[in-house]
């Protein structure tokens, strides 16, 4: 069999791995490169293989850096079958349609700006909403955890819970090659064990070859429970001070995890029973709805809670806000509320309006619960910026700023090593989805494995 890495090979985005065996070509993930304008531009480059010859795409999970180029794959001729868990399909549909919208919008704005300037054409969108919709039409069989699917004669795939986001999986391929069976395990993104809501990552007992993510291969996380306690303390202090609490959040997974903590905090009496909580993000509202539809993907504690007829994300004071007018109305709330909105790194989205109305107030708080890349507004605020510019207004930062670092959806170094050690019979392990020196680039390199 042949194995080649056409993305996330020496960096952490654009996952796209090609397995060739028994005359079939199987792509594991088809993600988008993200993080800078240069990386955005690289998405339009050739994939590095003949797109129309791909027979199957198996998706490990719905994050954009694992699914985002599926519409482009369709646009360039892929007509095979896409296989994922049901939850991944539901979330991927949301993610893919959202990114297609964004690309069309950005392109049409670019075209009108360029034609106003000099009559020239700006870049066309990477793909259209129609490409996105058509690529969603290629989803075929749904995978259940630990239930083997014969995807083609002699080729079997088994999905194991990766504990990263709802529906996430590590995928074991068993290839009955003429010279003997070969097994390859592709990790996808590996979750942080012991989180609430999701199960801890699982692995098959053995695999000959392992392809493993290594995002935090050089770091250890703080214990989860410490971060949760710190989170409650920050919310309670902020509410006691009379101000609002802003939580910039990623719409997918982090928002649902925070809702889960808030609900647990209210249930356990650590937070006020009627605490007003606004989720001001259509994408986060939809993602939460999808999480509510997939109790089969919860861990035992959350599943038991759900089985008692309770919603793990629901608190008495929760308001889910899609409508823009309702979003604007939140500006009238001067204190005592938790406001969650995107984007997580404050690079755009409704959080900017809430920052404009609150960050200059001494009694307000901003709690960062996710990664903030260099150069983003979130990073500048975390690093102690005295002033921020929001919609042309220069605002003095008076709100209290908290950063809670332990809420990672990725395994840390210790967990990655444990995950890898739990798989017996390994001949070789390939590290992907990491940056040097954790992982060295192997982009488009083909490995012949027996
Ligand atoms: Zn991911």
- pLDDT tens string 235-244: 999 999 999 9
Distance of CA 134 to the CA centre of its chain: 22
Contact 316, 273 (CB under 8 A): yes
Residue 71: phi and psi, rounded to 5, are -60, -35
> pLDDT digits over 246-262, tens only?
999 999 999 999 999 99
Question: What's the confidence (pLDDT) of residue 118?
Answer: 60
The pLDDT, as a whole number, for residue 319 is 97
Distance 356 CA to ligand 1 centre (A): 30
Q: Average pLDDT of 197-226? A: 93
26 near 19, Cβ under 8 Å?
Answer: yes
Measured in Å, residue 63 CA sits from the centre of ligand 1 at 5
Distance 251 CA to ligand 1 centre (A): 13
- What pLDDT was estimated at residue 40? 82
pLDDT at 114: 58
DSSP secondary structure string, 273-285? Answer: TT--EEEE-HHHH
Is pTM beyond 0.85 here? yes
**429 CA from centroid of ligand 1 (Å):** 20
Task: State which residues have CB under 5 angstroms from ligand 1, the bound ion.
Answer: 63, 189
The model's confidence at residue 386, banded by pLDDT at 50, 70 and 90, is very high
Distance 193 CA to ligand 1 centre (A): 15
For residue 121, what pLDDT is reported?
62
Question: For residues 322 and 273, is the Cβ–Cβ distance under 8 A?
Answer: no
What's residue 105's pLDDT? 85
What three-state secondary structure class fits 384? coil
Q: How far is the CA of 191 from the centre of ligand 1 (A)?
A: 9
Q: Is 93 helix (H, G, I), strand (E, B) or coil?
A: helix
How far apart are the CA of 118 and the centre of ligand 1, in A? 41
Is the predicted pLDDT of residue 122 greater than 70, yes or no? no
What is the distance in A from the centroid of ligand 1 to the CA of 265?
Answer: 26
Summarize the confidence of residues 88-116 as an average pLDDT: 84
Question: At residue 110, does pLDDT exceed 80?
Answer: no
**pLDDT band per the 50, 70, 90 thresholds, residue 438:** confident
Alpha-carbon distance 258 to 230, whole Å?
A: 13
For residues 76 and 164, give the distance between their C-alpha atoms in angstroms, rounded to a whole number. Answer: 30
Q: What is the pLDDT of residue 421?
A: 97
32 closest CA partner among 47, 50, 13 = 13
Question: Among 117-126, 320-329, 368-377, which stretch is predicted with the lowest mean pLDDT?
Answer: 117-126
pLDDT in tens, 298-337: 999 999 999 999 999 999 999 999 999 999 999 999 999 9
Instruction: Please report which confidence band the pLDDT of residue 440 belongs to, taking 50, 70 and 90 as the band edges.
Output: confident
Question: In angstroms, what is the span from residue 62 Cα to ligand 1's centroid?
Answer: 7
CA of 207 to the centre of ligand 1 (A): 22
How many whole angstroms from 232 Cα to the centroid of ligand 1? 26
| Phi/psi at 33 (5° precision) | -85, 135
**Residue 119: predicted pLDDT:** 58
């Amino acid at each position: 069999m042949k194995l080649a890495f056409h993305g996330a090979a020496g960096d952490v985005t654009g996952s796209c791995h090609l397995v060739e065996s028994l005359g079939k070509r199987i792509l594991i993930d088809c993600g988008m490169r993200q993080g800078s304008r240069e990386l955005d531009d690289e998405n339009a480059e050739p994939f590095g293989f003949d797109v129309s010859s791909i027979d199957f795409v198996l998706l490990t999970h719905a994050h954009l850096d694992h699914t985002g180029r599926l519409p482009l794959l369709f646009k360039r001729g892929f007509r095979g079958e896409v296989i994922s868990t049901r939850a991944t399909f539901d979330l991927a549909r949301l993610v893919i349609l959202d990114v297609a919208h964004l690309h069309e919008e950005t392109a049409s704005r670019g075209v009108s700006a360029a034609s106003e300037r000099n009559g020239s054409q700006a870049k066309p969108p990477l793909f259209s909403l129609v490409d996105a919709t058509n690529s969603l039409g290629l989803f075929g069989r749904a995978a259940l955890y630990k239930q083997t699917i014969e995807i083609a004669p002699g080729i079997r795939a088994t999905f194991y819970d990766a504990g990263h986001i709802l529906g996430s999986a590590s995928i074991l391929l068993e290839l009955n090659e003429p010279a003997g069976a070969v097994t390859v395990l592709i990790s996808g993104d590996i979750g942080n064990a012991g989180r609430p809501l999701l199960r801890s990552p699982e692995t098959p007992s053995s695999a000959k070859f392992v392809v493993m993510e290594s995002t935090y291969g050089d770091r250890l996380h703080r214990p989860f429970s410490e971060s949760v306690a710190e989170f409650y303390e920050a919310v309670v202090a902020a509410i006691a001070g009379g101000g609002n609490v802003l939580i910039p959040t990623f719409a997918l997974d982090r928002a649902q995890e925070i809702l889960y903590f808030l609900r647990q905090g209210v249930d356990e009496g650590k937070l006020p029973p009627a605490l007003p909580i606004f989720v001001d993000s259509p994408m986060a509202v939809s993602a939460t709805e999808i999480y509510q539809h997939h109790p089969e993907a919860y861990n035992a504690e959350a599943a038991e809670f759900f089985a008692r007829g309770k919603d793990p994300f629901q608190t008495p004071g929760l308001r889910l806000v899609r409508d823009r007018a309702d979003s604007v109305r939140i500006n009238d709330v001067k204190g005592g509320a938790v406001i969650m909105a995107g984007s997580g790194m404050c690079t755009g989205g409704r959080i900017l309006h809430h920052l404009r109305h609150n960050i200059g107030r001494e009694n307000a708080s901003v709690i960062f619960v996710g990664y903030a890349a260099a150069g983003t507004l979130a990073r500048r605020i975390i690093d102690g910026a005295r002033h921020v510019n929001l919609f042309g207004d220069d605002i003095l930062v008076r709100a209290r700023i908290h950063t809670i670092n332990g809420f990672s959806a990725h395994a840390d170094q210790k967990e990655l090593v444990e995950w890898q050690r739990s798989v017996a019979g390994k001949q070789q392990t390939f590290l992907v989805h990491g940056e040097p020196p954790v992982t060295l680039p192997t982009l488009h390199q083909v490995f012949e494995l027996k």
